[in-house]
Structure 1
Amino acid sequence: MDITDRTVFIAGATSGIGLELARRFAAAGSAVIVGGRRTDLLDRLADEGFATVPIDVTDGAGVERARDAILESHPDLDTIVTMSGVMMTEDLRDPGHFGATEKTIDTNLLGTIRVVDAFTPHLIGRGAGTVITVTSGIAFLPFPPMPAYAASKAGVHAYSEALRAQLDGTGIEVCELVPPAVATIPEHARRNPRALDLAAFATEVMDLLRADPTPREILVKGVLMHRWAERDGTYDELVAQRSQTLAMLPGRQ
């Protein structure tokens, strides 16, 4: 994938991995439109030189308004990145967890589908383009304190596979970015010493995206143990290890 002359929309890029990738695409020479819910952060990024658009991926009509605004100002849009997501712990012994489940599925899975659906006709009309969905190592190796997050990202993985098959022959690539734990703020590194450095992660991702042909899955070295746990016979042992973190749930302390 040539990342030097793309026109890229990243939904959910006002912070973290999304923002870092936006800056990397821009530094490579691509035009980048940053989408997000927080208008204060969008204003700061506009001052930085980014095109911005407010978007809440849980609002279908709002996603369509954002699409219309983007295509009016950037009719040559050719790359969509569905970065928006939430991550929450849930205690499945407590029926009160369901609100977190609904929010997680609505944002991570349905939000991805809303964004992809909104832009697919445009990309098909161009006859070329790239959709980059974002899942997680947790899609392949669940983290028990975050069951709906794991389910939502596993759903995005399956949806990406089906999307790729349905768009075959249209000229549209479907690429799945699979991050492991990444230290997007210093607190993340303190809580999880194994979390990857954000800059190093982004460098590896951009190097992989530059490959020709673009990989179906962007797998940095730090996520391989998650992605291939079942194949490698380590799945049960790793899930058992990760289940020890259930003690972090308030009801288990």
Structure 2
Amino acid sequence: MKLTGNTILITGGTSGIGKGFAQHFLGLGNTVIICGRRKDRLEQLKARNPGLATFQCDLTDAASRENLVRHVIQECPDLNILINNAGIQLTADLAKPVDLAAVEQEIATNLIAPLHLSSLLVEQLRARPEPCIVNISSGLAYTPLAFMPVYCATKAAVHSWSLSLRKQLEKTGIAVYEIAPPSVDTELGHERREDKSQTHGGMPVNEFISEALKALENNVLQAAIGPAASMMDQRDALFERLNSHL
């Protein structure tokens, strides 16, 4: 994947990994569009990053996703890269009735939204030079943490869907990448924390972005970054270790 001269749509671009990708790609001379739910954050990022395009969107809503695609194609007809980054991370106690609304929100954000967006943009991407779709999964796709079962299951589904998407699109010229982060120091999961300002802990965002960009530039179609590599390679043993306290 070339890292310059692209027009890139990044979902969940107002914080964490999405924000990191946006800023790095802007610095490399790309046109970058981010979408997110929070208007205030979008406005702040646009003010601080000249050239950044923003669009408010609720990715859990199909009509909002369709509106996003119409807007981006109209305003940025050179779009050739989609980065499916947006995600939420909640806990669930499977020993009692689950909060169905929370489960549906997590599945819609983490799986349905990227699947739907990608399908809506295939025709746009295949008409552009060097098109690609980048799906952000997780090391937890391979070695789940049992107290956040829906998140881990959606990321496992993103991995499986990425394999199928890559196979189905191989004759279109659209490359499909999967980047699996380890724990990265973002606010992912803040919805389930009492202190909403507390970060996730783990690899610094800039370090993760640097490693992810190296993988993309070297055309590594499935890249597990940092500790996520062992989570993929040693999944069974690590599952027992990570969940021994349950």
Under a length normalisation based on structure 1, what TM-score does the superposition of the two structures give?
Answer: 0.88
CA contact (8 A) 1:8 1:81 kept: yes
Q: What secondary structure is seen at the aligned counterpart in 2 of 1:80?
A: strand
Q: Which moved more, 1:165-174 or 1:55-64?
A: 55-64
Q: What secondary structure is seen at the aligned counterpart in 1 of 2:175?
A: strand
Cross-structure match for 1:220: 225
* Superposed counterparts of 1:162-201, under 5 Å: 162-184=164-186, 187-188=198-199, 192=201, 195-201=202-208
CA contact (8 A) 2:179 2:225 kept: no
Per-residue deviation, 1:245: 5.0
Q: What secondary structure is seen at the aligned counterpart in 2 of 1:2?
A: coil
Name the CA distance, whole Å, in 2 between partners of 1:238 and 1:57.
32
Cross-structure match for 1:141: 143
Structure 1 unpaired stretches of 5+: 247-253
Per-residue deviation, 1:95: 0.1
Q: Which moved more, 1:142-151 or 1:96-105?
A: 96-105
Which structure has the bigger radius of gyration? 1
Name the CA distance, whole Å, in 2 between partners of 1:82 and 1:56.
14
Distance 1:98 1:245, change over 3 A: farther
Per-residue deviation, 1:218: 2.4
CA contact (8 A) 1:90 1:145 kept: yes
1:107-140: per-residue Cα shift (whole Å, max 9, x none)?
1011111211121121123364000011100000
Per-residue deviation, 1:64: 1.1
1:18-42: per-residue Cα shift (whole Å, max 9, x none)?
0001101111111100111111111
Name the CA distance, whole Å, in 2 between partners of 1:111 and 1:218.
22
Name the CA distance, whole Å, in 1 between partners of 2:128 and 2:4.
19
1:154-187: per-residue Cα shift (whole Å, max 9, x none)?
1111111101101111110000110110012583
Cross-structure match for 1:32: 32
Q: What secondary structure is seen at the aligned counterpart in 1 of 2:13?
A: coil
CA contact (8 A) 2:92 2:149 kept: yes
Name the CA distance, whole Å, in 1 between partners of 2:128 and 2:32.
18
Name the CA distance, whole Å, in 2 between partners of 1:245 and 1:178.
25
1:206 has 2:213 as partner: yes
Cross-structure match for 1:250: none
* Superposed counterparts of 1:28-177, under 5 Å: 28-47=28-47, 48-49=49-50, 50-126=52-128, 128-177=130-179
Q: What secondary structure is seen at the aligned counterpart in 2 of 1:169?
A: coil
Structure 1 counterpart of 2:34, which letter? V
Distance 1:245 1:66, change over 3 A: farther
Aligned length: 235
Q: What secondary structure is seen at the aligned counterpart in 1 of 2:209?
A: helix
Q: Which moved more, 1:100-109 or 1:160-169?
A: 100-109
Name the CA distance, whole Å, in 2 between partners of 1:134 and 1:114.
15
Cross-structure match for 1:229: 234
Name the CA distance, whole Å, in 1 between partners of 2:34 and 2:111.
20
1:185-234: per-residue Cα shift (whole Å, max 9, x none)?
58336xx5xx11111111111122211xx11112223211111114xxxx
CA contact (8 A) 2:134 2:177 kept: yes
CA contact (8 A) 2:10 2:82 kept: yes
CA contact (8 A) 1:7 1:76 kept: yes
Cross-structure match for 2:17: 17
Name the CA distance, whole Å, in 2 between partners of 1:65 and 1:97.
29
Name the CA distance, whole Å, in 1 between partners of 2:75 and 2:82.
15
Under a length normalisation based on structure 2, what TM-score does the superposition of the two structures give?
Answer: 0.90
Distance 1:245 1:180, change over 3 A: farther
Q: What secondary structure is seen at the aligned counterpart in 1 of 2:199?
A: helix
Distance 1:3 1:165, change over 3 A: same
Name the CA distance, whole Å, in 2 between partners of 1:113 and 1:162.
11
Per-residue deviation, 1:72: 1.1
Cross-structure match for 1:5: 5
